[in-house]
Structure 1
Amino acid sequence: MTHIFRLGAAVAALALAMPAMAQQPADKVAAGPMVETPSAKLTQLFIASDEANLKRNPLFALFRGDTRFSDQFGDYITDAYLAAEKAAAEADLKALAAIDRAKLTADEQISYDVFKWQRESTLRGYQPDLLNVSKLLPIDHFNGLHQFVPDILSGTSVAQFKTVKDYEDNLKRLDGFAVALDRVLGRMKEGVAAGVVQPKLVSERVLDQLNRHVEGGVEKMPLMMPVQKFPEGISAEDQARLKAAYAAKVKDEILPRYAALRDYTRDTYLPASRGNDRPGLVSMPGGPDFYRYLVSTQTTTNMTPDEIHNLGLSEVARIQGEMKKVMAEVGFKGSLQEFFTHIKTDPKFKPVSREAMTQGYYDIGKRVDATLPKLFRTMPKTPLEIRPYPPFLEKDMAGGSYQPGSPDGKRPGIFYFNAYDLPSRTTPGMETLYLHEGAPGHHFQIALAFENAKLPSFQRFGGNTAFAEGWGLYAESLGKELGMFTDPYQYYGRLDDEMLRAMRLVVDTGLHSKGWSRQQAIDYMLANSSQGETDVVNEVDRYVAMPGQALAYKVGDLRIQAARKRAEKALGKNFDIRGFHEQVLMTGALPLEVLDAKIDRWIAAGGK
């Protein structure tokens, strides 16, 4: 996530997308005689940079299972924090430039290149013209401390509550959270003064979220969930004390700040917000340059918005041709648009209940698990759980997502699916969604990197959206090889989801580069897929709130597909699909140019 200043639900992605290196403290590096080989210098740089990063960003450590900073929240959303992050990137690049890349091993050169790309990309974001946009948009309905922190500190997510110390550490974190909420309000006020504000559709959704928290009161606040059910081993006396302390903290420090944010959003920010007739960055001061930056960082390419827009139009036309083949197979008589309506309205394609959806995903998972060894040599040890989104999140979330487990495998990876507004949802895309978010999609890509202790930790825990989401979309394409899509409607669901990613290229660039209205984007998506209106509205509002992020899926997928075709053609009978997947997955999430170079070296070595 390159919105590095909008610390919200995407700090999970931030923890993956920033150079978060090893968990070993830097002082351990200094033990013993200093070795000045290029390899040793590279290792020392990675470890020292990582330790400094975790100290500056203690929330990152939660996602890594590192508890050394569990009583700290962090100094986010201040100019001093931004200056420290900029200085760290500059220092890392200076140290990297002093290392002779030519004297490193092939794997170390990959690490060198990835680290260089990440730090240069981060540093570009601190250019004044870009920073003056990003820092003034601290929250939206996808990214914001107001949603993100209650989720990760709820006791059902990232933060662990097993001991009295865990509970007491969290109380200290909540002090930092209260301060950060004040800072969010301050940035919003700066944004109004500068004319750098969200569009009304985003502000309205944020206001709805804030209303739900304020009106729910203390007991319904997710931050209270850890004291509603304690683990064994915590005495009744401690339970009573902690429950009272949490209630007081939420009542006296947290909810008043939510109320202040709510009131300002309702009374000042929403009226000052941009219109939905041109909600993209193109209509905001500094927006066009910021969008071009986001396009480059999210796709890890030099493609322009126009090139991506035209690629999207081409892909939409190609996928429509594949959809018409499915129509012929099932004997549907009518136009493609009528087929979309059939999928959206026929009761046989509607989920019966939340429970039925959950069981359906369980069944899909079992079928996929049985065939994965055909395509993969290494399987994640981290377990994968399947859950619907918690009710306080589901209204504003996409159809599904993945939350990584911990590197030690003790916290499982979680595939979340959305059961909100069931009548608007359809079942043909269930196999595809599981392949993307679960196995062999994000769960494989992230867990295999986490578990690979041979990697420098920034490759284990770092990443970029184009690789991560490109792999997720590529994983969908493996469905037939994994024995899925035997039902033509489920294969249609695969095409419909691929169409979604192709439409994103058109719509995201349309909104942020060509000045499309919200309704124009909604109408385009409804006309070119069987996505339900609730899903389409959420998707469009997501693209408005997270510019450029949605471009990464199709761009990344097409590059992985092209690399596979290149290898198949060059290696012929020596091509091993399991070996190819090892090459793609076992060095973490690589910028696409680095991935291409790695695959080309593998091809040159005969696929060995």
Structure 2
Amino acid sequence: MNHACRLILSAALVALVPAGGSAQPAGPAASRQSAHDRLFDLFRQSDEAYLKRNPLQALFRGDYRYADRLGDLFSDAHYQGEKAAAEADLAALHALPRAELGADDQIAYDVFEYQTRDTLRGLQPDLLRLNEALPMNHFYGLHTQYPTISSGQGGAPFQTVADYENALKRNRDFAANVDEAIAQWRKGEAEGVVDTQLTVRNMIEQLDNQLKLKPEESPYWGPIKAFPNAVGVADRARLTQAFRASLTGTVYPALSRLRDFLKNDYLGHARAGAGLMYMKGGDALYRYEVESTTTLPMTPEQIHQLGLSEVARITTEFEKVRQQMGFKGSLQQFFDYMRSSPKFQPKTRQELEQGFASVKRQVEAQVPQYFSLVPRTQLVIRPYPPYREKFEAGGSYDAGTPDGRRPGTFYYNAYDLPSRSICEETTLFLHEGEPGHHFQISLAQEDAALPSFMRFGGNTAYVEGWALYSESLGYAMNLYNDPCQRFGNLNDEMLRAMRLVVDTGIHAKGWTRDQAIRYMLTNSGESQTDATAEVERYIAIPSQATAYKVGQLTITRLREKAKAALGAKFDIREFHAQVLGSGALPLTILEAKIDRWIAAKKVS
């Protein structure tokens, strides 16, 4: 079962801009402040400047000061502004005396430095020209995310007349950003830097699916169908007319321009080879992205070999489950049986949702045994909207707001029910919900003592590594005693191991789409639907999928290191509090923190 976390929906910025601001140089007054105060002043100034430049990120946090705009997401000026801000931030940081900071502040200093350096590397001319040329794809794209934002069930509020007026203004920004994205694609065409034919065709299909809906049937109409009491009768009539005019005159024409450009122009120039190695400059971009997403100095070849080793290990565990279930055929026949038998397929969408709700109850009953830190933010379970489900992962998580007004949401995919498996309900919920993404993201957001870039930012290796690690806690919780659920967990772990092989295979070794799909079907019980969606995801967002296993293996190794060093002093709840208590850390910084904790516990 494939799944994904959607922390930051402005996908063009995910890899490039985790933070960034425009800090003022320290003057005489600043020099009289403590090192802590100067550091956090820098963080505040940087974050406030970042939100002004990227108001969409404020919207996702529940900060509605800039809710009347989406910002400038794709222009050359935007990227140069981010580069200048990051350079100013780094200079201001290095003017501060790190040695005078406490241990927690040093962690914050180190994370800020790491992220800002990584941002700057992605904004250097050799990589920026490549990233600019790929503004959207079928997995991360404003064209699919904006409808959710605007639906009344996404990040944008619809509680007052002003909220509705802001939505109309955002629609204009949406159209402007679509045109800017088209301009970047055109520039890439001229420079020979183009996306894959597969990704472009998928985007065209996504746009066709939206455009065939009448405005009144679209997600954009959701707020009109559910006016709050605060909006009076006269305003409802006026806003209904204004929304219809905005959709027919601004949003739909922008979607049509994008579809027509991709179909009639860009597709003819798109590249046939799936991997970045077939794109001009793609080898360098992939090496950077591997290091950026794993937060470790690993090469594509190292990632590939690690994946092969993990695939071999997990295969032996599959054999044990095959025997436990009494299946007499080969392992490949066992995979075919598990992916095709109606016994393991949900009959209805309701059955699928009820299964996840049951796992939620079981997990929450055991949380106190493993966690001293538990988020206040609630978690809800919802299916993907029909217009999105075909191209989505098997599940994903959207963060709530720090004040709890919007809960965290675990989305599950009910598209093509025979391709779904009830065996994967436990492992999927542990990853996307509790104690996976929901715990980690919510705890960080709720910790007001953390600087904003640590509350709301992160890196894939930590975020996804924690979620994959969380799946393994199902063994201690006795949630995998049923061999069906154990198979589901192994299938998901195998998925992450295969990702190391397949992602690097596609982008560094020239694997084809079909070759990658065959590899996944041969080595796991993944359905054809899931394997196809997975491979097309790796093609669209290179390297992102490699970070899961790297992060999980690191966290598991650190736990075993702590257990060996502390013996009877080891407390799993304390370990989890250490891992979760500082937001999403680059893995080298996380290991240094755990080492300090181990040393302190030894002498306590």
Per the normalisation by structure 1, the TM-score is 0.95
Tell me the residue number matched to 1:62. Answer: 59
Distance in 2, matches of 1:157 and 1:244, equals: 22
Distance in 2, matches of 1:13 and 1:354, equals: 33
Distance in 2, matches of 1:303 and 1:233, equals: 54
Tell me the residue number matched to 1:407. Answer: 402
Question: 1:440 is matched with which residue: 414, 435, 443?
Answer: 435
Distance in 1, matches of 2:23 and 2:477, equals: 44
Distance apart, 1:34 and its partner CA: 7.2
Distance apart, 1:167 and its partner CA: 0.5
Are residue 109 (structure 1) and residue 103 (structure 2) matched? Answer: no
- Cα deviations across residues 409-463 of structure 1 (Å, max 9, x unaligned)? 1110000010001111211111000000000000000001111111112111110
After the TM superposition, which of the residue ranges 458-467 and 501-510 deviates more from structure 2? Answer: 458-467
Distance in 2, matches of 1:453 and 1:262, equals: 43
Question: 1:584 is matched with which residue: 575, 579, 584?
Answer: 579
- Cα deviations across residues 175-231 of structure 1 (Å, max 9, x unaligned)? 111111111111122222222111111111000011112221322332222112211
- Cα deviations across residues 498-537 of structure 1 (Å, max 9, x unaligned)? 0000000000000000111111101100100010000000
Tell me the residue number matched to 2:82. Answer: 85
Amino acid at match of 1:245: A
Tell me the residue number matched to 1:302. Answer: 297
Distance in 1, matches of 2:158 and 2:551, equals: 37
Tell me the residue number matched to 1:525. Answer: 520
Distance in 2, matches of 1:173 and 1:79, equals: 20
Q: Unpaired runs of 5+ in structure 2?
A: 1-5
Change (3 A) 1:12 1:545: closer
Amino acid at match of 1:267: N
Amino acid at match of 1:321: T
Question: 1:44 is matched with which residue: 41, 44, 47?
Answer: 41
Change (3 A) 1:17 1:452: farther
Change (3 A) 1:478 1:489: same
Distance in 2, matches of 1:496 and 1:355, equals: 23
Amino acid at match of 1:360: G
Distance in 2, matches of 1:160 and 1:12, equals: 21
Change (3 A) 1:198 1:257: same
The residue matched to 1:605 in structure 2 has which SS? helix
The residue matched to 1:428 in structure 2 has which SS? helix
Distance apart, 1:37 and its partner CA: 2.2
Question: 1:463 is matched with which residue: 458, 481, 498?
Answer: 458
After the TM superposition, which of the residue ranges 500-509 and 63-72 deviates more from structure 2? Answer: 63-72
Distance apart, 1:20 and its partner CA: 4.8
Per the normalisation by structure 2, the TM-score is 0.96
**Mapping of residues 501-520 of structure 1, within 5 Å:** 501-520=496-515
Aligned length: 596
Distance in 2, matches of 1:221 and 1:35, equals: 56
Distance apart, 1:549 and its partner CA: 0.2
**Mapping of residues 128-167 of structure 1, within 5 Å:** 128-167=125-164
Change (3 A) 1:167 1:417: same
Amino acid at match of 2:9: A
After the TM superposition, which of the residue ranges 454-463 and 381-390 deviates more from structure 2? Answer: 454-463
The answer on whether the counterparts of 1:343 and 1:349 sit within 8 Å (CA) in structure 2 is: yes
Amino acid at match of 1:494: N
Question: 1:240 is matched with which residue: 224, 232, 237?
Answer: 237
The residue matched to 1:387 in structure 2 has which SS? strand
Distance in 1, matches of 2:141 and 2:96, equals: 38
The residue matched to 2:409 in structure 1 has which SS? strand
Distance in 1, matches of 2:588 and 2:275, equals: 29
Distance in 1, matches of 2:479 and 2:79, equals: 47
Distance apart, 1:17 and its partner CA: 8.6
The answer on whether the counterparts of 1:20 and 1:457 sit within 8 Å (CA) in structure 2 is: no
Change (3 A) 1:18 1:446: farther
Distance in 2, matches of 1:263 and 1:446, equals: 38
- Cα deviations across residues 230-254 of structure 1 (Å, max 9, x unaligned)? 1112111111100110110110111
Distance in 2, matches of 1:373 and 1:309, equals: 38
Tell me the residue number matched to 1:196. Answer: 193
The answer on whether the counterparts of 1:26 and 1:51 sit within 8 Å (CA) in structure 2 is: no
RMSD: 2.0
After the TM superposition, which of the residue ranges 196-205 and 108-117 deviates more from structure 2? Answer: 196-205
Tell me the residue number matched to 1:547. Answer: 542
Distance apart, 1:33 and its partner CA: 8.4
Identity in percent = 52
The answer on whether the counterparts of 2:20 and 2:85 sit within 8 Å (CA) in structure 1 is: no
After the TM superposition, which of the residue ranges 196-205 and 393-402 deviates more from structure 2? Answer: 196-205
The answer on whether the counterparts of 2:30 and 2:38 sit within 8 Å (CA) in structure 1 is: no
Amino acid at match of 2:332: Q
The answer on whether the counterparts of 1:9 and 1:145 sit within 8 Å (CA) in structure 2 is: no
The answer on whether the counterparts of 2:458 and 2:585 sit within 8 Å (CA) in structure 1 is: yes
Change (3 A) 1:91 1:354: same
The answer on whether the counterparts of 2:70 and 2:173 sit within 8 Å (CA) in structure 1 is: yes
Q: Runs ≥4 in structure 1, deviation > 6 angstroms? A: none
Distance in 2, matches of 1:117 and 1:522, equals: 35
Amino acid at match of 2:500: L
Distance apart, 1:483 and its partner CA: 2.7
Distance apart, 1:51 and its partner CA: 0.7
Tell me the residue number matched to 2:3. Answer: none
Change (3 A) 1:62 1:16: farther
Distance in 1, matches of 2:120 and 2:15, equals: 17
Distance in 2, matches of 1:443 and 1:510, equals: 31
Tell me the residue number matched to 1:182. Answer: 179
Question: 2:71 is matched with which residue: 69, 74, 99?
Answer: 74
Distance in 1, matches of 2:411 and 2:97, equals: 44
Distance in 2, matches of 1:122 and 1:55, equals: 18
Distance in 1, matches of 2:589 and 2:8, equals: 28
After the TM superposition, which of the residue ranges 156-165 and 226-235 deviates more from structure 2? Answer: 226-235
Question: 1:261 is matched with which residue: 258, 263, 284?
Answer: 258
**Mapping of residues 211-226 of structure 1, within 5 Å:** 211-226=208-223
Amino acid at match of 1:408: D
Distance in 2, matches of 1:294 and 1:399, equals: 24
Are residue 11 (structure 1) and residue 10 (structure 2) matched? Answer: yes
Distance apart, 1:36 and its partner CA: 2.6
Change (3 A) 1:271 1:15: closer
Distance apart, 1:12 and its partner CA: 7.3
Distance in 1, matches of 2:261 and 2:547, equals: 34
Question: 1:571 is matched with which residue: 552, 566, 572?
Answer: 566
Distance in 2, matches of 1:61 and 1:222, equals: 22
Distance in 1, matches of 2:217 and 2:524, equals: 38
The answer on whether the counterparts of 1:8 and 1:144 sit within 8 Å (CA) in structure 2 is: no
